[in-house]
Amino acid sequence: MKRAYPILLTLGFALVFLAAATAQAKDPLPSWNAGKTKQAIIQFVEDVTKQGGPNYVPPAERIATFDNDGTLWVEYPMYTQVLFAFDRVKELAPQHPEWKTKQPFKALLEGDMKTVGASGMKGLMEIVIASHTGMTAAEFDQEVSDWLATTKQSKFNRLYTELTYQPQLELLAYLRANGFKTFIVSGGGMAFMRPISEKVYGIPPEQVVGSSVVAEFQVKDGHPVLVRQPKINFINDKAGKPVGIYEHIGRRPILAFGNSDSDMQMIEYTMAGDGLRLGLFVHHTDAEREYAYDRKSHVGTLDKALDQADAKGWIIVDMKNDWKTILPSK
Amino acid sequence: MKRAYPILLTLGFALVFLAAATAQAKDPLPSWNAGKTKQAIIQFVEDVTKQGGPNYVPPAERIATFDNDGTLWVEYPMYTQVLFAFDRVKELAPQHPEWKTKQPFKALLEGDMKTVGASGMKGLMEIVIASHTGMTAAEFDQEVSDWLATTKQSKFNRLYTELTYQPQLELLAYLRANGFKTFIVSGGGMAFMRPISEKVYGIPPEQVVGSSVVAEFQVKDGHPVLVRQPKINFINDKAGKPVGIYEHIGRRPILAFGNSDSDMQMIEYTMAGDGLRLGLFVHHTDAEREYAYDRKSHVGTLDKALDQADAKGWIIVDMKNDWKTILPSK
């Protein structure tokens, strides 16, 4: 054994140096173009992870929250969950003859989307309640999984779960590799994202915060189940996002990423903590590779946040210029 | 290098065997007496972690939920959070002259605990609301931390955070070492447990599920804060526990541990899943080292669960016989 020790040591050091060199050489965010935005993200991560540095944050406090629609996956021309709700209503229609004469269901079944749109938030909520409640938690989970496994988005002709943003998948992985815990904090329904969050984003269900309906514990035929009730429990949007974060995470994030004015409160809350913080918005500027929309859009309206970004130190990520690729390769 | 390889290999194998031998030899639950209960726990963990075995559960699904009061720490003669609420009311009394004539505050301030008790759940809720709301989330967090850092329980003359059960601390660590994610699922307030959960149990705030008041996002003097409102949001008790699990975790646990009839629904819900499951109740049987109470107790009532345990395959942990030590050494 005597002779082996120096060799072991040499080999050990060589491996350590090799690992360090590889880590430095390898770009953790290959789908982000070089520039101010990418540099700001990497600088932030290096600063908060640098032990002994002035901006060091212990791993337990490295909480990063991401909006989902328009931030992690495509939301245009309509939120995926709303399309799911429309499809479910059509599927359930035979069991609801009364919908033939009741708005907004009548319009939806007739394909009159203008009237559906005119029914506003109230109409949309009726559609959501009709399509998202009355079943057990496990049944709903299955319905969502089945729909997402089979339904394709028209522009890209791909499953919705394939319309995630490659640069964001890299960012999530990069943050986790640096000791961050990544969360989804979405206006969408928790139960709609949870069946696919782990597979698609590497984010387990318990790290998905979102809107919800009231659930009730019942014993059905001797079997304990949770039944989704026709009543909104919580809307995790706008000023609801920091509340959802308090309720589900119990710590203030140090990084928050959104794409619309609905994410402003989450990002304000994040930035208001002590120490180094990062707040970012995706700006959809790429009509060719994805979509271009902002101030006047019917989904993901980005207006006030654009005006306030400079003054508040928020980073506006320009999809067209900052992202080398948009979607994962097929 | 040529000569070093066999030595490296030999050394490598030696280390692997050494690690395996140490793991087998070292009792992961030294504060649990040998017996049926300890054996059932270890067998369960070995079964669900055995790759290729018939009962294997992937790490992501190894969710274990623990009640807090009476399951992880002492709850007798009164829940810690209620004592905190009583102390807070006394501290706040100078700012509330109206309490001098208003029940149950009048009785509490006069030390007339019989009248406080007679005010029932309604009176208790008034005391909780008065002591737990009106401040920011950060302020409440600080109040809880300060109180827990300074207030001692009378029988043991120790801080409440030191009145955790040593066997349970070992079990939590054993489960985590075997890829489990451990959660608190308590009837108590989330915001009361979160400031200390990581330090005391190794459970981060985001893995604490409990009761809550409504929180509101406000901007105070340009600073975004969450203000705790005088309104109950959710009671995470009894049939509320599986609902809280659905809301916060989104998966069914495979192991659940409680100590009272209030934990029955959580344990029923856990046991009703497919595959191997474990449901356990602490039975407080040790008047000498801790307390002895069950069917007729005013806290942690354990009655129906005792009757149903055998038929339902729940394990009743006999504190006196199953636990070698109760509290961590000073």
Residue-wise pLDDT for A116-161, tens only, equals 999 999 999 999 999 999 999 999 999 999 999 999 999 999 999 9
CA distance A238 to chain B (A): 10
d(CA B269, CA B211): 19
Q: What is the pLDDT of residue B330?
A: 87
CA A41 to chain centre: 18
B193, HSE (Cβ side, Cα atoms, 13 Å): 31
d(CA A304, CA B182): 41
Q: Name the residue with higher pLDDT: A14 or B289.
A: B289
CB A317 within 8 A of CB A280: yes
Q: Is B205 on the interface with A (CB under 8 A)?
A: yes
B59 to chain A: closest CA residue:
A204
CB A327 within 8 A of CB A165: yes
d(CA B321, CA B330): 22
pLDDT higher than 50, residue B1? no
Residues A198, B272: C-beta atoms closer than 8 Å: no
Q: What is the pLDDT of residue A8?
A: 53
pTM for this one? 0.92
Quickly list DSSP for A239-251.
Answer: THHHHHHHHHT-S
pLDDT tens string for chain A (330 positions)? 445 555 555 555 555 555 555 555 689 999 999 999 999 999 999 999 999 999 999 999 999 999 999 999 999 999 999 999 999 999 999 999 999 999 999 999 999 999 999 999 999 999 999 999 999 999 999 999 999 999 999 999 999 999 999 999 999 999 999 999 999 999 999 999 999 999 999 999 999 999 999 999 999 998 999 999 999 999 999 999 999 999 999 999 999 999 999 999 999 999 999 999 999 999 999 999 999 999 999 999 999 999 999 999 999 999 999 999 999 998
When CB atoms are compared, the residue of B8, B208, B250 closest to A208 is B250
DSSP bridge pairs for B315: B280
Q: What is the pLDDT of residue A3?
A: 52
- Residue A172 neighbours by CB under 8 Å, 6+ apart: A66, A182, A201, A202, A203
The first and second tokens of residue A94, run together, are 């035979």
For chain A, how far is it from start to end, CA to CA, in angstroms?
Answer: 52
**Collapsed DSSP state (helix, strand, coil) of residue B66:** strand
Q: Looking at this predicted complex, what is its ipTM? A: 0.91
d(CA A295, CA A305): 10
d(CA B221, CA A176): 35
Nearest to A73 by CA among A165, A195, A148: A165
Q: Is B235 on the interface with A (CB under 8 A)?
A: no
Q: What is the pLDDT of residue A330?
A: 87
User: Which runs of E-coded beta strand occur in chain B?
Assistant: 63-66, 152-153, 158-159, 181-189, 208-220, 223-234, 255-258, 278-285, 292-293, 315-318
Q: What is the pLDDT of residue A1?
A: 43
Q: Name the residue with higher pLDDT: B8 or A34.
A: A34
Residues of B in contact with A4 (CB under 8 A): 3-4, 7-8, 11
CA distance A142 to chain B (A): 13
d(CA B81, CA B195): 13
* CA dist list (Å): B157 to B62, B77, B289, B328: 37, 14, 14, 14
**Collapsed DSSP state (helix, strand, coil) of residue A156:** coil
Residue-wise pLDDT for B207-221, tens only, equals 999 999 999 999 999
d(CA B70, CA B184): 12
Residues A224, B265: C-beta atoms closer than 8 Å: yes
Nearest to A128 by CA among A88, A160, A161: A88
For chain B, how far is it from start to end, CA to CA, in angstroms?
Answer: 52
> What is the arithmetic mean of pLDDT over B162-190?
98
Interface of B with A in 263-292 (CB under 8 A): 265, 268-269, 272
